[in-house]
């Protein structure tokens, strides 16, 4: 029982370390698209990636001298489509600010590995990060960027068993029949 608990804890630590390293790579790509001319409010919704991505984004933005502001209410930017009022910028001593919303969607990428007689397919998870930048207080959309990130050795991917192409059994049967015919007729 103790061994299984230790093994589970080790696997969880390796998985968390992998997400942390991947989140750092994604944060580097996202930071390049963010303008630092105004104060920045971050709104990150990326599922299990949220804590690691938020930490790395803040670190990289602060290293570049960005003015990052925290809201008092974490769900204040929950839905910009509704008629909800965001924070009053005067509360923060600002005239203009930039809201950076990061969301993640999952999709699949399929690759085919072909050989002469067979092929196999491999499905890999693609993490699509969408970065919206909104100018406050008008809530005017400034830009939308999208970054695709494929984890190379993802355990979530799947590799199919080798499959024969439909015509290859016919070719193999014809070749074997030809060899048998030649051996039969040669004297």
Residue 134 lies in a domain: yes
Residue 83 lies in a domain: no
Sign of CA dihedral 42, 45, 51, 53: negative
Indicate the number of domains in the chain. Answer: 1
* Lowest-confidence region among 10-14, 34-38, 101-105, 168-172: 10-14
Residue 65 lies in a domain: yes
The H or E element containing residue 100 is strand 97-114
Residue 178 lies in a domain: yes
pLDDT of residue 59: 93
pTM of the model: 0.66
Residue 84 lies in a domain: no
Q: Residue 157: which pLDDT band, with cuts at 50, 70 and 90?
A: low
pLDDT of residue 108: 83
Residue 89 lies in a domain: no
Residue 75 lies in a domain: no
Read off the tokens for 81: 């489509």
Residue 78 lies in a domain: no
Domain extent, residue 166, equals: 2-70+95-185
């Amino acid at each position: 029982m103790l061994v299984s608990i230790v093994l589970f804890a080790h696997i969880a630590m390796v998985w968390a370390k992998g997400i942390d390293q991947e989140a750092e790579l994604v944060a580097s790509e996202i930071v390049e698209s963010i303008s630092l001319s105004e104060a920045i409010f971050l709104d990150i919704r990326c599922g299990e990636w949220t804590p690691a991505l938020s930490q790395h984004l803040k670190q990289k933005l602060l290293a570049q001298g960005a003015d990052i502001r925290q809201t008092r209410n974490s769900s204040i930017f929950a839905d910009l489509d509704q008629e909800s009022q965001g924070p009053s910028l005067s509360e923060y001593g600002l005239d203009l600010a930039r809201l950076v919303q990061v969301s993640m969607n999952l999709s699949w990428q399929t690759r085919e590995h072909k050989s002469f007689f067979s092929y196999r397919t491999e499905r890999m998870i693609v993490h699509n990060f969408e970065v919206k930048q909104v100018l406050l207080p008008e809530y005017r959309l400034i830009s939308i960027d999208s970054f695709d990130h494929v984890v190379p050795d993802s355990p979530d991917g799947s590799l199919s068993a080798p499959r024969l192409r439909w015509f290859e059994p016919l070719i193999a049967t014809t070749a074997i029949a030809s060899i048998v015919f030649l051996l039969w007729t040669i004297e």
